[in-house]
Structure 1
Amino acid sequence: MSEVLHLANARLVLSDRVMTGHIMIIDGRIVAIVEGDRVPSGAVDCKGDYVMPGLVELHTDNLERHIEPRPKVDWPHLPALLAHDAELASTGITTVFDALRVGSIHSAKSGYGEYARKLADELLDARAAGHFKISHFLHLRAEICSETLLEEMAAFGPKDRVGIVSLMDHTPGQRQFRDLTALKNYVAKKRGMNDADFVEHVENLKQLQTKYGAVHEKGAVREAQRYGAVIASHDDTTADQVAASAANGVDFAEFPTTREAAAACRAHGIAVMMGAPNLIRGGSHSGNVAAWELAHAQMLNILSSDYVPAALLMSAFQLAEIWDNLPAAIACVTQTPAKAVGLSDRGRLEEGLRGDVIRVRTVGQTPLLRGVWSRGARVA
């Protein structure tokens, strides 16, 4: 028998408007969207709640948090993967690009080892076995300041569901960490460094950038093209850096750190992603440009939960307040990120698309998630 999900008397968030109506999903696909408040026999009465597409997350550190819940604490990978998957489902995310670092440093005390290929294999095996609630793709974070970037990227190929390669240059003194105090606070807490360790860490990264930066950047772009992945820049700060990103074929910019960089992205036709926590908190924890400032300037296209999965839905409703336009705000967490990575089968409520939907009620200005369905099957 066919699997049927029928949600009625709902405020359907379409691409261009909010419409009271009902939506039917059969065998994982949207088959009907009908206007009106009638509740057909057998349908779920949503009692005026919003029904909108499932959220699409392009950049999240959440999986790494589950496999290493504390510094130097390794957690079993399959339970970590399942917990990560369930957590995202519980926040309304139905498609995720799991960020895995590629590029390791073995020559320094502050270095870090290789893990991405092994974890990717475990993730893909779990997906193939049907263990996940939601849809998973890979996002490889290509660390330019590393020793083994190209060797690690060579281990991946077109069959690995690598949808995004982001170019990460964490050289101290530029981009996200122009302020070395902010960098010191971040790495000291994460890796337990003392002052001498930090000085050594900074010098080592600068040397790696000098030695490998240009060849790693070119090689990472080449590998992304081999995978068929979209390329993202990370922490662009100046117009010149954005121009270099455009030359590399970058499709979207993760967290530009200045208004200048965001404006340059717009001029080059590069979509701008900002962090949902930045928007909710009213500013960047690193002292970079505030997401609300770019939103008011119409220079924000995509939101990412970054390090707080539950922030994605909350930030979309906050953005709706800024723009006084709920469909446009919801598009920043559904339609626009899906389009940025070439996923044309989701991100919108339209007949024929995947039945990834969420039901939301608002309590004051806070969205309350009432149900999550992936391909029409309830997952939260």
Structure 2
Amino acid sequence: MTHKIFSRHIVTPDRVHAGHVILDGDTILAVEPAERAAANAFDCGDDLLIPGLVDIHTDNLEKHYQPRPGALWDALGAALAHDGQCITAGITTVFDSLALHGQKDGLDRGDALGPMIEAVDRAGDEGLLRAEHLLHLRCEVTNPRLADLIAPHIENPRLRLMSVMDHTPGQRQTANLDRLKDRMARRGASPDEMELLLADRTSWRDSAVAPENRAHVVALAHEHAIPLMSHDDESIAHVEESHDDGCIAAEFPVTLAAARTAKNYGMMTVMGGPNFVRGGSHSGNLGARECAAEGLLDILASDYVPLSMLRAAFQLTEAPFGWSLPAAIATVARNPARITGLTDRGDIAPGQRADLVQVHRAPGGWPVPRAVWVRGRRAA
């Protein structure tokens, strides 16, 4: 059964125009020019109609699983809350990005990994989720438990992305130790607590496990045909290593030199939506706006604020950037879809999956999702 959605501003891959998007079940059948809505069409009026967003990096599930330090929430309830926040932000495909790291605010991420993955699996099996949830394992190469943490999940059909990262203090994301200590102090850590934490994290780096772990993750990604990204590359040498490992993208590079090198190697650059919206990195590293100004920004991810993706994409169309709407929307839809092998979504075009978002431009510039369709069905 076919039905139509009308908008005066349909954002297709190469232009913005008025017309109907004709849906046949879960697929876009055609995009037809029209000046007014047909009698049987869903009428978006002057609101924009864009493809559903594809978020390849979000910490949002973990935030709902532990909403406050030391306070764990029911895992299924966390999955449902996370899903609701994503779908109402226009995110129709979300990669739940789980860190195979140590402690964070009292949460043992190794212990939390299984319950979070099982909760999303169960919610999906029971038809409780509105967005499509895939899995992104963020592999901390210095973690002595890394291989054991990955093993139970490597055959999970939702596992569609992996990344290698190293958060040892003193390099990459936390090259500036004074800045790191300042952030820890604002969280209430005492000087003694800071030194203990830094010593614990640094001790991982001193072991011989990091090179072995990285090689293991790279081998697994290739063996299972899972796209692989690098995280927080700081130097040209970091990017060269990532390229040699077969990484398809530099995720959150912390310097312009790293971002430029990734571009030269044909790797895409992923930056955080909150970084762009706030006007800078909370950790003082490379700004997403600076990356965009240099022509190095390919993909925006929500990182820790789901609604930031849409806001950042629309900011790209404003001064001083002046991107076209199709180019801006591609950073949150087509580009992240294609880089992860999802060729069936990310564009409003015949044959694509009918994942769509009606977006209203509120006074002050904030884009507000008013309706969301996933596989042709209204989800929000």
**Equivalence map 1:283-322=2 (5 Å):** 283-321=280-318, 322=321
In 2, the alpha carbon distance for the partners of 1:248 and 1:112 equals 26
Task: Name the CA shift for 1:227/1:72 in 2 (closer, same or farther; >3 Å).
Answer: farther
Task: Name the CA shift for 1:269/1:299 in 2 (closer, same or farther; >3 Å).
Answer: same
CA drift at 1:224? 2.2
Letter in 1 for 2:369: L
Letter in 2 for 1:160: P
Kept in 2, the 8 Å contact 1:8–1:39? The answer is yes
Letter in 2 for 1:182: R
What is residue 327 of structure 2 aligned with on the other side? Answer: 328
Alignment length (residue pairs): 375
Letter in 2 for 1:373: W
Kept in 2, the 8 Å contact 1:50–1:361? The answer is yes
Letter in 1 for 2:229: A
Letter in 2 for 1:122: A
Kept in 1, the 8 Å contact 2:269–2:299? The answer is yes
In 2, the alpha carbon distance for the partners of 1:86 and 1:34 equals 32
CA drift at 1:168? 1.4
Matched, 1:174 2:197: no
**Equivalence map 1:49-198=2 (5 Å):** 49-104=47-102, 113-187=110-184, 193-198=189-194
CA drift at 1:228? 2.4
In 2, the alpha carbon distance for the partners of 1:110 and 1:116 equals 10
CA drift at 1:114? 2.4
Note the alpha carbon deviations across 1:275-317, whole angstroms, 9 max, x for none: 1111111111111111111111110000011111111101000
What is residue 360 of structure 1 aligned with on the other side? Answer: 359
Kept in 2, the 8 Å contact 1:103–1:147? The answer is no
Kept in 2, the 8 Å contact 1:104–1:147? The answer is no
In 1, the alpha carbon distance for the partners of 2:13 and 2:60 equals 28
CA drift at 1:159? 3.5
In 2, the alpha carbon distance for the partners of 1:117 and 1:66 equals 15
Which stretch of structure 1 is more off in the superposition, 154-163 or 277-286? 154-163
In 2, the alpha carbon distance for the partners of 1:317 and 1:172 equals 34
What is residue 199 of structure 2 aligned with on the other side? Answer: 203
Letter in 1 for 2:13: S
Kept in 1, the 8 Å contact 2:70–2:107? The answer is no
Q: Secondary structure at the match of 1:158?
A: coil
Task: Name the CA shift for 1:84/1:111 in 2 (closer, same or farther; >3 Å).
Answer: closer
TM (norm. structure 1) is 0.94
In 2, the alpha carbon distance for the partners of 1:121 and 1:152 equals 14
Task: Name the CA shift for 1:177/1:252 in 2 (closer, same or farther; >3 Å).
Answer: same
Matched, 1:214 2:248: no
Kept in 2, the 8 Å contact 1:346–1:356? The answer is yes
Task: Name the CA shift for 1:210/1:31 in 2 (closer, same or farther; >3 Å).
Answer: same
Task: Name the CA shift for 1:348/1:132 in 2 (closer, same or farther; >3 Å).
Answer: same
Q: Secondary structure at the match of 2:8?
A: strand
In 2, the alpha carbon distance for the partners of 1:283 and 1:157 equals 35
Matched, 1:10 2:8: yes
In 2, the alpha carbon distance for the partners of 1:103 and 1:278 equals 22
Which stretch of structure 1 is more off in the superposition, 153-162 or 335-344? 153-162
- Root-mean-square deviation (CA), in Å? 1.9
TM (norm. structure 2) is 0.94
Matched, 1:232 2:220: no
Kept in 2, the 8 Å contact 1:21–1:36? The answer is yes
In 1, the alpha carbon distance for the partners of 2:229 and 2:186 equals 27
In 1, the alpha carbon distance for the partners of 2:118 and 2:310 equals 30
Kept in 1, the 8 Å contact 2:79–2:116? The answer is no
Q: Secondary structure at the match of 2:317?
A: helix
- The runs of 5 or more residues in structure 1 that have no matched partner are none
In 1, the alpha carbon distance for the partners of 2:109 and 2:33 equals 55
In 2, the alpha carbon distance for the partners of 1:16 and 1:141 equals 34
What is residue 339 of structure 2 aligned with on the other side? Answer: 340
Kept in 1, the 8 Å contact 2:99–2:109? The answer is no
Task: Name the CA shift for 1:125/1:150 in 2 (closer, same or farther; >3 Å).
Answer: same
In 1, the alpha carbon distance for the partners of 2:32 and 2:100 equals 46
Kept in 1, the 8 Å contact 2:55–2:93? The answer is yes
What is residue 372 of structure 2 aligned with on the other side? Answer: 372
Which stretch of structure 1 is more off in the superposition, 7-16 or 362-371? 362-371
In 2, the alpha carbon distance for the partners of 1:374 and 1:255 equals 28
Kept in 1, the 8 Å contact 2:65–2:116? The answer is no
